[in-house]
């Protein structure tokens, strides 16, 4: 159809008439034909009902069904999409106004056939003023649109991994929290930091590091399933948004899957790379109600996870707000602890499984702080391992252990832990030789316990160091086997004499259907086949010990025989002829109980009672301070920070109650326990209590009246529901 330059085409005529000098009718028509000949530009016209009565041939040829365009409603052919300007205009709307419109963004087709256009048009009216339709101009902007989308994507996404970037994640989290705040819905965020990634960059180069980060991103997408919820913050840090999840059991399981998958070996540019991951978790609104607070608290949890041993996760808790300062003080004091003689070694016996005879001991470090008392190695060893102090402290421990063991009678061995940083020191073999020479200890009586972390820097230096140590005559033990980055290649290349089976494998072996039993059996069989001994750590109960005997473990270490004892006490015990230890302890393994002494709240009916939590397990607890409580009584125990759990009294001893939980507690990522979910701050406020209610009631209990505290608003909103079993948000 040729362009008919007539009464209905005044828009083109007016456009032409604005030129100087004015065009005649034929010149204007020629001008319009020239414009129509340009790719991506066309004229269009519609009738009064909005049906297309004309579309330039070249424009029509770019549509998916050009032959069926004429007579179709303009709004069916050109679909309005967001033009990015937030104008809210639609084609149907502008046509209904029957006035001029310009540069309205529309599209045609779908998928690969989609094309983008800008429509401009002007309403046409007859001599009597009646509306006759529109005529106008269409310009294709597909290429410009794609470039704009690519630029927008680059602005919102990390160029290396394709994941969303920090800015876009912050916006997404802000939008989610704003919407969920009104709806009182939870939202979790996970911060992930890769362990030992810097070592890959430093040893294999940045190109390998970049390729490794892309593989990490792919694995995270596989786990989470939605790439838009995963962000690369920068460097080797990632963030995950998990909306509508507050169950810390589920979040802990997700964190464990992330850690496990990211810790599997990578093949990058012909290199085998092994890294790890640590995860910090915070959940809104419990741990923060805006982006800055929530991310800060997740970062504190990540920091705690990394400094708790890496390769683990941690939930945020209020204790972490003061932990950073405590850690800084410990680091300062640790610098002087060795010089002041505050460090000492204790020795835990290692027993031959077949005879109960003591064959040696493991040297375990203790820090007697002048103000804080005994500080757990779990607190100060990670601090030392991140600084050059670990080599100095490790050398002291090695020399002291050799000196102590030289006084032991017979051929008792001493096992000394060696940190990866200490092992990779080129001067370490010389330190070992010097310690043996100075103490006079026979080399075969010294056993160096080395973790799998030393193999993260596999190479000629590592192999050479192993052979140098073996040439000295010392024994080598692979510590915590199976908990890190186990590889049979280690056992093939490194001259180990013993495998130490971590206590995490031991727990649960006596339970019916436990897979740990099969795993330990396989480890023992493999060790025997290559002439290595095995030591099972953390044996605490008689049924665990019987299982180790059944599985053929050669040596046992744990409380079932003895705890670690001071050097003088161990020396005195070792002086008895044929020293053996009769095992003793609980007959059966039960859920691990954590001893403690802290205030909690016990809610029953309309009353709140302060009580002392003595110990805690996943399935129950021992509480103190309530008397004359009948068996079967149900309480709601309030642990603080929004954590509640329904408990039933199963036994009573004076003022002590043994209670069983309605729902089991879950791992808090730090060796402790927490409830799965928590009472939202919104619910606390609705109950007439401040969100930090637990701070006043748990840490500084309100003085009771007649032995009880009445809190009708709280218990009617929360407590009564829990006691009636209607499902309270509980736990951690």
Residue-wise pLDDT for 520-554, tens only, equals 888 899 889 888 999 999 898 898 899 899 999 99
Per-residue pLDDT, 711: 33
* Residue whose token pair is 């945020």: 316
Per-residue pLDDT, 292: 93
Per-residue pLDDT, 696: 33
Query: Does the pLDDT of residue 244 top 60, yes or no?
Result: yes
**377-385 and 389-405 helices, crossing angle to 10°:** 120
Query: Does the pLDDT of residue 249 top 80, yes or no?
Result: yes
Q: Pick the most confident of 369-378, 511-520, 567-576, 605-614.
A: 567-576
Query: Does the pLDDT of residue 731 top 70, yes or no?
Result: no
Handedness of CA 556, 559, 561, 564 (dihedral sign): positive
> Once rounded to an integer, what is the mean pLDDT over residues 342-347?
94
Residue 638: pLDDT band with limits 50, 70, 90 = confident
Query: Does the pLDDT of residue 482 top 70, yes or no?
Result: no
- Least confident window among 262-271, 441-450, 547-556, 683-692: 683-692
Per-residue pLDDT, 709: 33
For 438, residues 6+ apart whose C-beta sits below 8 A from its C-beta are 399, 402, 403
Query: Does the pLDDT of residue 42 top 90, yes or no?
Result: no
Q: What Cα–Cα distance (Å) separates residue 277 from each residue in 152, 237, 298, 531?
A: 31, 10, 15, 34
Per-residue pLDDT, 384: 86
| Rounded Cα–Cα distance for residues 236 and 216 (Å) | 9
- Least confident window among 206-220, 329-343, 371-385, 436-450: 371-385
Per-residue pLDDT, 685: 54
Looking at residue 162, what DSSP letter applies?
A: -
Q: For residue 400, give both structure tokens.
A: 């002291």
Per-residue pLDDT, 303: 87
Residue 346: pLDDT band with limits 50, 70, 90 = very high
Asked if residues 716 and 649 have their Cβ atoms less than 8 Å apart, the reply is: no
Partner residues linked to 54 by β-bridges: 45
Q: Pick the most confident of 391-395, 422-426, 691-695.
A: 391-395
Query: Does the pLDDT of residue 363 top 70, yes or no?
Result: yes
Phi, psi torsion values for 190, nearest 5 degrees: -115, 130
Per-residue pLDDT, 22: 62
Query: Does the pLDDT of residue 365 top 80, yes or no?
Result: yes
Mapping DSSP to helix (H, G, I), strand (E, B) and coil, where does residue 275 land?
A: coil
> Once rounded to an integer, what is the mean pLDDT over residues 327-355?
90
| 507 compared with 137, residue with greater pLDDT | 137
Query: Does the pLDDT of residue 294 top 60, yes or no?
Result: yes
Q: What's the chain's average pLDDT?
A: 81
pLDDT in tens, 50-82: 899 998 888 887 886 767 788 889 888 888 765
Among 530, 538, 433, 417, which residue's Cα sits nearest to residue 478?
417
> Once rounded to an integer, what is the mean pLDDT over residues 170-187?
91
Residue 511: pLDDT band with limits 50, 70, 90 = low
Per-residue pLDDT, 218: 95
Query: Does the pLDDT of residue 483 top 70, yes or no?
Result: no
| Rounded Cα–Cα distance for residues 539 and 562 (Å) | 10
Per-residue pLDDT, 270: 83
Query: Does the pLDDT of residue 221 top 90, yes or no?
Result: yes
> Once rounded to an integer, what is the mean pLDDT over residues 254-268?
93
Q: For residue 26, give both structure tokens.
A: 């034929």
| Rounded Cα–Cα distance for residues 363 and 416 (Å) | 5
Mapping DSSP to helix (H, G, I), strand (E, B) and coil, where does residue 129 land?
A: coil
| 662 compared with 28, residue with greater pLDDT | 662
Mapping DSSP to helix (H, G, I), strand (E, B) and coil, where does residue 202 land?
A: helix
Per-residue pLDDT, 502: 82
DSSP 350-390: EEETTT-BEEEEEEEEEEEETTTEEE-HHHHHHHHHTSTHH
Looking at residue 19, what DSSP letter applies?
A: S
Q: What Cα–Cα distance (Å) separates residue 252 from each residue in 88, 198, 255, 487, 696?
A: 43, 26, 5, 26, 28
| Rounded Cα–Cα distance for residues 106 and 283 (Å) | 41
Residue 512: pLDDT band with limits 50, 70, 90 = low
Domains and CATH numbers, the chain: 7-148 (3.30.450.20), 157-318 (3.30.70.270), 338-570 (3.20.20.450), 594-723 (2.40.10)
Query: Does the pLDDT of residue 295 top 50, yes or no?
Result: yes
Q: What percent of the chain has pLDDT over 90?
A: 36
| Upper half-sphere CA count for residue 208 (Cβ side, 13 Å) | 19
């Amino acid at each position: 159809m040729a362009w008919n330059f007539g009464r209905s085409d005044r828009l083109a005529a007016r456009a032409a008439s604005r030129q100087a000098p004015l065009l005649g009718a034929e010149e204007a028509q020629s001008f319009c034909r020239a414009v129509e000949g340009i790719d991506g530009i066309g004229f269009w016209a519609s009738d009064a009902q909005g049906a297309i009565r004309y579309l330039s041939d070249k424009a029509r040829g770019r549509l998916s069904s050009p032959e069926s365009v004429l007579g179709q409603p303009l709004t069916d052919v050109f679909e309005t999409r967001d033009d990015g300007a937030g104008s809210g205009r639609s084609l149907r709307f502008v046509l209904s106004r029957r006035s001029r419109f310009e540069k309205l963004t529309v599209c045609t087709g779908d998928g690969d056939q989609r094309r983008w256009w800008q429509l401009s048009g002007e309403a046409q009216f007859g001599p009597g003023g009646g509306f006759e339709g529109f005529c106008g101009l269409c310009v294709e902007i597909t290429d410009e649109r794609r470039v704009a989308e690519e630029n927008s994507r680059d602005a919102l996404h990390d160029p290396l991994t394709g994941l969303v970037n920090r800015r876009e994640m912050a916006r997404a989290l802000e939008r989610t929290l704003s919407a969920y705040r009104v709806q009182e819905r939870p939202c979790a965020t996970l911060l992930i930091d890769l362990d030992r990634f810097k070592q890959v960059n430093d040893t294999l180069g940045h190109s390998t590091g970049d390729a490794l980060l892309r593989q990490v991103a792919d694995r995270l997408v596989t786990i989470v399933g939605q790439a838009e919820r995963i962000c690369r913050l920068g460097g080797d840090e990632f963030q995950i948004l998990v909306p509508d999840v507050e169950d810390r059991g589920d979040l802990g399981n997700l964190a464990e899957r992330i850690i496990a998958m990211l810790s599997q070996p990578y093949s990058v540019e012909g290199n085998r790379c092994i890294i790890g991951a640590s995860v910090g978790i915070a959940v809104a609104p419990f741990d923060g109600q805006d982006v800055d607070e929530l991310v800060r608290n997740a970062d504190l949890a990540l920091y705690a996870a990394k400094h708790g041993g890496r390769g683990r996760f941690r939930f945020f808790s209020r204790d972490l707000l003061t932990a950073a300062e405590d850690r800084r003080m410990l680091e300062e004091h640790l610098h002087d602890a060795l010089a002041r003689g505050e460090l000492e070694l204790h020795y835990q016996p290692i027993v031959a499984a077949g005879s109960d005879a003591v064959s040696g001991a493991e040297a375990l470090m203790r820090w007697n702080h002048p103000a804080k008392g005994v500080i757990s190695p779990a607190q100060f060893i990670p601090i030392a391992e991140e600084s050059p102090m670990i080599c100095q402290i490790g050398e002291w421990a090695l020399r002291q252990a050799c000196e102590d063991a030289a006084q032991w009678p017979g051929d008792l061995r001493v096992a000394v832990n060696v940190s990866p940083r200490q092992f990779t020191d080129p001067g370490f073999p010389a330190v070992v030789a010097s310690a043996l020479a100075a103490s006079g200890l026979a080399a075969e009586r010294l056993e160096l316990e080395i973790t799998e972390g030393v193999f993260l820097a596999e190479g000629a230096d590592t192999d050479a160091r192993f052979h140098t140590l073996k040439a000295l005559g010392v024994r080598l033990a692979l510590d915590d086997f199976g908990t890190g980055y186990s590889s049979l290649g280690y056992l093939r290349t490194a001259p180990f004499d013993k495998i130490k089976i971590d206590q995490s494998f031991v727990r649960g072996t006596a339970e019916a259907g436990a897979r740990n039993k099969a795993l330990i059996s396989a480890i023992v069989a493999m060790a025997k086949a290559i002439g290595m001994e095995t030591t099972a750590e953390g044996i605490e109960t008689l049924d665990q010990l019987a299982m180790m005997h059944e599985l053929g473990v050669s040596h046992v270490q744990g409380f079932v025989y003895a705890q670690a004892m001071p050097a003088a006490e161990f020396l005195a015990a070792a002086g008895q002829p044929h020293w053996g230890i009769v095992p003793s302890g609980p007959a059966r393994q039960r859920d691990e109980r954590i001893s403690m002494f802290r205030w909690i709240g016990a809610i029953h009916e309309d009353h709140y009672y302060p009580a002392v939590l003595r110990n805690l397990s996943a399935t129950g607890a021992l509480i103190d301070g309530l008397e004359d409580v009948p068996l079967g009584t149900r309480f709601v125990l309030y642990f603080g920070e929004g954590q509640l759990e329904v408990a039933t009294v199963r036994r009573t001893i004076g003022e002590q109650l043994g209670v069983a939980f309605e729902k089991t507690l879950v791992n808090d990522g730090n060796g402790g326990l927490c409830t799965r979910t928590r009472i939202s701050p919104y619910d606390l406020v609705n109950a007439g209590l401040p969100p930090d209610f637990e701070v006043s009631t748990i840490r500084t209990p309100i003085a009771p009246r007649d032995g009880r505290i009445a809190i009708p608003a709280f218990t009617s909103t929360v407590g009564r529901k829990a006691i009636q079993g209607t499902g309270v948000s509980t736990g951690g």
